[in-house]
Amino acid sequence: MKKISLQPTNDYCPQTLFLYGTYNEDGEADFGLFCWFSYTWDKELGVMACIGGSKRTLDNIHRTKVFSANLVTEKILPLADYMGCVDGNKPEKMNGLNLDVEKGRVLAVPVLTASPVNYELEVKQFIPTDSGEVMLCAIRNVLQDETLAGEHASPTEKLAEIAPVQTTCERYFSWKGENLGAWGEPMAQFSK
Ligand SMILES: Cc1cc2nc3c(=O)[nH]c(=O)nc-3n(C[C@H](O)[C@H](O)[C@H](O)COP(=O)(O)O)c2cc1C
C-alpha cells in the first residue's frame, strides 16, 4: 500500500454519534449532536468527550457537571442532524418540539426515549484546550432498550435492528455503510 501525507483529518475514520442532553437553567432540556466521544479505562469503563468552542451544551455541563449521551440511530437521524445544526442559544431550537424525554435513573439528566442506548455521565475532570474542552466522565448508569437484553438475537442482529449511524467525510452512513446524506441534509426530513 503506497501512502500519501495529509493535513490533519479524520476522513475514513468513522465515528459513532451521540445526542448530549443537558438541562438549561430554566429546567428545559437541550440536545446537541456530538461525535468526538470515546471510551477510557481507569479501573472501570469511562467516557472522554471533546466540545469545541462555546455552546449551550458546554455551558449547561459547566453548571451541572452532568449530561446524557444518547446513541443516534437511523430512525432519529433527522432529529439528530437538526440538533447538530441549530444553535442551542437560539430559543426556537427546542420550542415546539414534541420529544419524549425522561429523566435519568441516577443523574438529573434528560434522556431521549427514542434512543435505545443512553449514558448518564458525570464529569470528573475538565481539561481546557485552546478553543474548547476535553471532559473525562464517569458512567453513572447505562440505560438500554429492554429488547437488547436476552439471547433471542445475536449482537449482529441487534446492531442491525437498532442501526447506529456512523459519520466520516462530513457525511452520515447507515450501519450497513449506505450514504445517508451530508451533514445538514437529513434535517430537511425533520418537522416540528
Ligand atoms: C455530525 C455532527 C457532529 C458534531 N460533533 C461535535 C463534537 O463532537 N463536538 C462539538 O463541539 N460540536 C459538534 N458538533 C456541533 C454541535 O452539534 C452544535 O454546535 C450544536 O449546536 C450543539 O448544540 P447546542 O448549541 O444546543 O449546545 C457536531 C455537529 C454535527 C452536525
pTM: 0.97
CA dihedral 60, 64, 69, 70 (to 10 degrees): -80
Does residue 22's CB lie within 6 angstroms of at least one atom of ligand 1?
A: no
Q: Each residue of 53-92: pLDDT tens digit?
A: 999 999 999 999 999 999 999 999 999 999 999 999 998 9
Give yes or no for a contact between 44 and 34, defined as CB atoms under 8 angstroms apart: no
What are the E-state strand segments in the chain?
Answer: 15-16, 18-23, 29-34, 37-41, 45-52, 66-71, 101-103, 110-112, 117-128, 132-144, 166-168, 171-173, 179-182
Report whether residue 87 contacts ligand 1, using a CB cutoff of 6 Å.
yes
Mean pLDDT of 17-25: 98
Instruction: Note the pLDDT of residue 141.
Output: 98
Cβ(186) – ligand 1 distance below 6 Å: no
**In the prediction, which pLDDT does 131 show?**
93
Residue 191: predicted pLDDT: 83
Q: 107 CB less than 6 Å from ligand 1?
A: no
- Cα(84) to centroid of ligand 1, in Å? 5
Mean pLDDT, the chain, whole residue set: 97
